[in-house]
Amino acid sequence: MTERITRRELVRRGAAGGVLLGFPSILAACGGDGIEGQANTGATTTTAPSDTTLAARLTISNWPLYIDVNEDTNERPTVNQFEEEFGLTVEYVEDVNDNDEWFGKFQAQLAAGQPIGRDLTVLTDWMAARMVRLGYVDAINKDAVPNASNLVPALQSPGWDPERTYSLPWQSGMTGIAYDPERTGGPVTSIEQLFTDERLRGRVTALTEMPDTMGLVMLSNGDDPSTVDADAFNRGIETLQAAVDSGQIRRFTGNDYADDLASGNVWACIAWSGDVVQLQLDNPNLEFVVPDAGGMIWTDNMLIPKGGDVFTASTWMDFVYRPEIAAQIEAYVNFICPVEGAREEMLAIDEEIANNPLIFPTEDMLANVKQFDTEAADNPEFKETFQAVTGA
């Protein structure tokens, strides 16, 4: 019997996935991983933004499980459609496991102005901001992306790229609290409860991504994570440290909290909305809440690393900003779609998804979420302080 692994199973196996996926990339950091050579030829031939010839090959670097996969054929329908329509080959690589790790891997090449063999990559706000600040990215060819007008208004002008000159959102997601009411014996709706409720001692995890964990903690302390100062940050660190010292927080995790939550090692945790949607398919009891004090929202952005083929990458951006394509991706990915009109398209594909507030959040929910200060997210001192609390 050949059993295929669905995305949901992969999320559940997050523990294995997170670690296993992490390791090859550490190795890859030390040497090439085979893609560079091929793609460089395509990338170096066309660099001028005004160029309007499609390259023969487009190399996209993205996070694992972040685009639709046909689970019967293991092919990626959206990628195939793009290849057919534009007559080129897409090299789709799932090699972004961690923003820092990705940056560490390519920084030397980017700093030296060498192409990194990727025409398009997807990075979280604060890292995208760093890439823009350091000049490691090329401007998007806006003429090639008329569909960019479909971008939801809330995401149109982030502080680090007010005109969306260099970036276009791929997916957003909310950070909140996930819990299993059967085990917790009731709702867990605040960070305070998560960090102090005796019944949850040692059954709680938080995320290793600093903006997510610190964002929620700061909101709970009554501070604003969208403009962070040292005092507010340190107050948050104290709150977090207390929860670590008391043994309340069991671990700091990446995606692998999914595994602990499913197996009952963890009863309540700081979690990402899209993961919980997947986990709910197995355990409908699971709840995801945006804490009363507020939740966090983040965005992963498409960027064109210097040396990438601007026109071809821009053409891809335009393609995925068609509402029907965006809906197709969303039906699989289940995070939050940044494309206006995708919900209407989704109603035709899967009404349940279209009406799921974790995928198409309500106004109320959106009013209660904040974006973490991108500069603070990249502040080395804050990062080091946070790292010291999370154990290293």
Partner 1 sequence: MGLIHRHKGLVPYLLLFPGLAFLAVFFVVPTYYLANTSLQSGDIFSGYVFTWAWENYSNAISTYHPQLLRSFQYAGIATIVALLVSYPLAYWIAFRGGRWKNLLLLLIIAPFFVTYLIRTLAWKTILEDDGLVVSAFRTVGLLGDDGRLLATSVAVVAGITYNFLPFMALPIYVSLEQVDARLVEAAQDLYASKVRAFLRVTLPLSLPGVFAGTLLTFIPAAGDFINAQLLGTPRQFMIGNVIQSKFKVIADYPEAAALSFVLMATILVALIVYVRALGTERLTV
Residue ranges that bind partner 1, judged by CB under 8 A: 15-16, 19-20, 23, 26, 98, 100-101, 103-104, 107, 111, 134, 201-202, 208, 244, 247, 249-252, 263-265, 380, 383-384, 387-392
Q: Is the Cβ–Cβ distance between 42 and 55 less than 8 Å?
A: yes
Q: Which is nearer to partner 1, 80 or 387 (CB)?
A: 387
Nearest residue (CB) to partner 1, 61 versus 99: 99
Rounded Cα–Cα distance for residues 134 and 53 (Å): 28
Query: Smallest distance, Å, CB 134 to partner 1?
Result: 7
Comparing CB distances to partner 1, the nearer of 205 and 273 is 205
- Cα 8 to Cα 14: distance, rounded to the nearest angstrom: 10
Tell me the residue length of the chain. 392
Cβ neighbours for 105, distance < 8 A, ≥ 6 positions apart: 25, 28, 29
Q: Which is nearer to partner 1, 78 or 205 (CB)?
A: 205
Q: What span, in angstroms and rounded, lies between the C-alpha atoms of 23 and 46? A: 33
Contact 330, 359 (CB under 8 A): yes
CB 288 within 8 A of CB 175: no
Tokens of 64: 């694992």
Residues 343-354 as b or e (16 or more Cβ within 10 Å = b): bebbeeeeeebb
Q: How far is the CB of 192 from partner 1 (least distance, A)?
A: 20
Q: Select 364 or 384, whichever has its Cβ closest to partner 1.
A: 384
The candidate with the shortest Cα–Cα distance to 232, out of 385, 122, 111, is 385
Q: How far is the CB of 23 from partner 1 (least distance, A)?
A: 7
Nearer to partner 1 (CB atom), residue 309 or residue 378: 378
Q: Find the shortest distance in angstroms from Cβ 256 to partner 1.
A: 9
Q: How far is the CB of 110 from partner 1 (least distance, A)?
A: 11
Task: Pick between residue 344 and residue 381 the one whose CB is nearest to partner 1.
Answer: 381
Closest CB 179 distance from partner 1, rounded Å: 16
The two beta strands, 167-179 and 249-253, are unpaired
Q: Smallest distance from the beta carbon of 292 to partner 1, in angstroms?
A: 27
Closer residue to partner 1 (CB): 239 or 334: 239
Q: Tell the smallest beta-carbon distance from residue 130 to partner 1 (Å).
A: 8
Cα–Cα distance, 379 to 224 (Å, whole number): 16
Question: CA triplet 35, 40, 43: central angle to 5 degrees?
Answer: 125
Distance (Å, whole) CA 339 – CA 321 = 6
Question: In whole angstroms, what is the distance from residue 49 CA to residue 46 CA?
Answer: 8
Q: CB of 75: closest distance to partner 1 in angstroms?
A: 28
Structure tokens at 334: 């289940």
Amino acid at 254: G
CB of 228 to partner 1, least distance (A): 18
194 near 204, Cβ under 8 Å?
A: yes
Contact between residue 119 and residue 92 where contact means Cβ atoms under 8 Å apart? no
